[in-house]
Structure 1
Amino acid sequence: MTQDSRRQTVARPAGRLALAALTALGLQAGTAQAEEVLKAVSAFPVPMFWTQDFLNFVEEVNETGEGVVQIQMMGGPEVFPPTQQVDAVERGIVDIQYGPATYHLGSAPEIDALVGSNVTPEAARESGGFDLMQEILQERLGVRLMALGQSGLQFHIWSVDAPSVGEDGSVDMNGARLRSQPIYQAFFESLGAVPVSAPVPEVYTGLERGTFDGIGWPVAGVTDMSWDKYLKYRIDPGFFNTDLVIVMNPDSYAGLSDEARAIIDAAALNYELGSRDRLATVTAETDAAVQEGGIEVITLEGDAAQAYLDGAYGSAWARLQASGSAHYDALRAAFYQD
């Protein structure tokens, strides 16, 4: 699949929403003002599906905001290391960032509510969960939450060697070294695996050298850096939900004209909807490709599958509860339906 096809528009109503927002504000097209330019960065390398999809947001703003507001895409991890990008946004070095919110669990444990969520972004907005998370991230990280990307995203364990499946149908990852990030750690350890930290650009080398025996990753994007050359097995079902967000420097946002803010807000809302559809398409296409390429899917069933999922989702909510956050009950009610 080409990068252009990955960024195909899926019924994007950005123009209509943005124009409706502008009309509601009573702004006139002829108002004279300087075009405002914002700088953006992604946690992922630009060729990967995730950054390519984020560019849909950038392009919508640039198309709808011509003459009013533009986004200059600076690049990916080569600009700032992924774990330092939100700090760069807080400090105003860049204005907008896209990437995993869970890189910052240490500073904002409430982010686990996104990981353990089983509701859509629309439901989270209607329940007040989005607004609450927006307040939390501004207080904890100094950034403004703009959008929840790729809802419906699920993660999988991918491995080089066949995982052991017990007589009860449960998977045993005892001793397996799995490339990890904070959201996976407790769950991987509960399976007996050894989490290994490594940035995305180093995953291929880690697999090549045997630094780790597998990875935690969604279906989408697993082929972008040729990781499937070494990965031979995938465990289903998928678990967790998206932790991918677009955040913005609050002062940059407040400093925009009313017209520019309306354009940015509309594009962010459109991104929540469109990114879900694009993700579903790419996930289906990539799933078919990797299975055709020889990756074997090990599907857990019945009680074993339920225990596996309970262990995954439960690890996120247990971690949030253990943090002592005063927002635990409100977040649980807004982001998780029993």
Structure 2
Amino acid sequence: MNQATTRSIARTIRNGLFATALTSIAFTGQASAEETLKAISAFPQSLAFSQSFKGFVDLVNERGKGVIQINYAGGPEMFPPNQQVDAVRRGVVDMQYGPASYYLGTMPEADAWVGSTVTAAKARENGGFGIMQEAFSKKLGVNLLAHLDTGVKFYIYTINEPKRTDDGGIDLDGQRIRSQPIYNSFFEALGAIPVSVPVPDVYTGLERSTFDGSGWPIVGIRDLSWDKFLRYRIDPGFFQTDLAVVVNPAKWDGLSDEAKKVINDAAAEYEKTSYENFQKVIEETDKAVRENGMEVITLEGEAEAKFLDLAYDSAWKRMKDSGSEYYDALREAYYDR
């Protein structure tokens, strides 16, 4: 073998080794390109709502293999629920799931979801979701990704049978009802006294009869074992769940376009999926509590209409009185009652 041939073979080997090295580097880069988001929930992981959020996380992780993954780190034990969005804004965590109404003082537009009569999918179509994205960014400093678990209404539950009015309505005059800001003005209009009690303390409060009832979504009442004490439910349901998924803006901007697409596509799809899932949960829960002895008091006719008007008007009036620049557009998009 002459020297020229030897040099040619050496060059081939070197070039091959260099190409192999480049390929290895490329594959290493691809392997390390998978991005990760740390997510938390406002609710304990055992609650149905957190389990639904876990379904969204699983959907993203399934479709985002090699691109994007979400690490579901926990619930209220990580941060107090009403401080979690601020933790996202500051970049302490990347993503959060929980009620937008926890931040009504800063973002009164959350009442558009509280007083909504349309699904999240419908609001994406009519532009309402886009307006809410702008409000979340401007008022809370976070990016809104999804409005999950819509279609779950709220109810008033009581320990003892509530009194009725002459026109077939409900008389809650003087009743101490566990509340939160979204209920307060509505409960007061019914004569009740709103009582602020953290969720972990409600069971003990009911056990000791320190208040007479509670407002709560139909879902989760059994998970928390409150149905052991709350033996009456007033129908119809009112309002709607206002559960948002938000992400830190800087973290979002740093994601690849592919990762953003995976998350956005999953968000739009899971809004529909979670709505359908909860319709089944609602049906099962309603059947179970009735079979377990809960008595449902159903308002009808004018009494029902008056009850619902008081509820929805309280939410929309609160936003209007706040001076929100988005009031008219949000009411048109989210309220068709």
TM-score normalised according to structure 2 size = 0.89
Q: Does structure 2 conserve the Cα–Cα contact (< 8 Å) formed by 1:57 and 1:268?
A: yes
| 1:252 counterpart SS class | helix
* C-alpha distance in structure 1 between counterparts of 2:149 and 2:38, whole Å: 22
Q: Is the 8 A contact 1:233 1:298 kept in 2?
A: yes
Q: Which residue of 2 aligns with 1:167?
A: 166
Letter in 1 for 2:77: E
CA RMSD in angstroms comes to 1.4
- Trace 1:143-158 onto structure 2 (pairs within 5 A): 143-158=142-157
Cα distance change of structure 1 residues 77 and 159 upon mapping to structure 2, 3 Å threshold: same
Aligned to 1:105: 104
Contact 1:58 1:71 in 2 (8 A): yes
Aligned identity (percent) is 57
Matched, 1:257 2:267: no
Give the number of the structure whose alpha-carbon radius of gyration is greater: 2
Residue type at the aligned position of 1:301: E
Range 308-317 or range 159-168, more displaced: 159-168
Is 2:107–2:136's contact at 8 Å kept on the other side of the alignment?
yes
Structure 1 position 30, deviation (Å): 11
User: What is the CA–CA distance in structure 2 between the aligned matches of 1:160 and 1:213, rounded to whole Å?
Assistant: 6
2: CA distance, partners of 1:330 / 1:83: 27
Matched, 1:240 2:239: yes
Task: Determine which structure has the larger helix proportion and give its number.
Answer: 2
Q: How does 1:1-338 map to 2 (within 5 A)?
A: 32=30, 33-338=32-337
Q: How many Å apart are 1:245 and its aligned residue?
A: 1.2
Structure-2 separation of matches of 1:51 and 1:122:
20
Give the drift of 1:224: 0.2
Given that 1:44 and 1:200 are in contact with CA atoms closer than 8 Å, whether structure 2 keeps it comes out as no
Counterparts of 1:133 and 1:34, CA distance in 2 = 31
Task: Report the Cα distance in structure 1 between the residues aligned to 2:33 and 2:201, rounded to whole angstroms.
Answer: 42
Residues 239 and 311 in structure 2, CA contact (< 8 A), matched pair in contact too: yes
Gaps of 5+ in 2: 1-26
- Equivalent residue of 1:263, what SS? helix
The alpha-carbon deviation at position 31 of structure 1 amounts to: 8.2
Aligned length: 310
Amino acid at match of 1:222: I
Runs of 4+ in 1 over 3 A off after TM superposition: none
How far apart, in 2, do the equivalents of 1:168 and 1:202 lie?
35
CA distance in 2, matches of 1:121, 1:49: 19
C-alpha deviation, 1:203, in angstroms: 1.6
TM-score, reference length from structure 1: 0.89
* Residues 45, 201 of structure 1: 8 Å contact kept: no
Letter in 2 for 1:130: F
Q: Which residue of 2 aligns with 1:22?
A: none
1:279-301 CA-to-partner distances (Å, cap 9, x unmatched) read 10111001100000000000000
For residue 217 of structure 1, give the secondary structure of its aligned residue in structure 2: strand
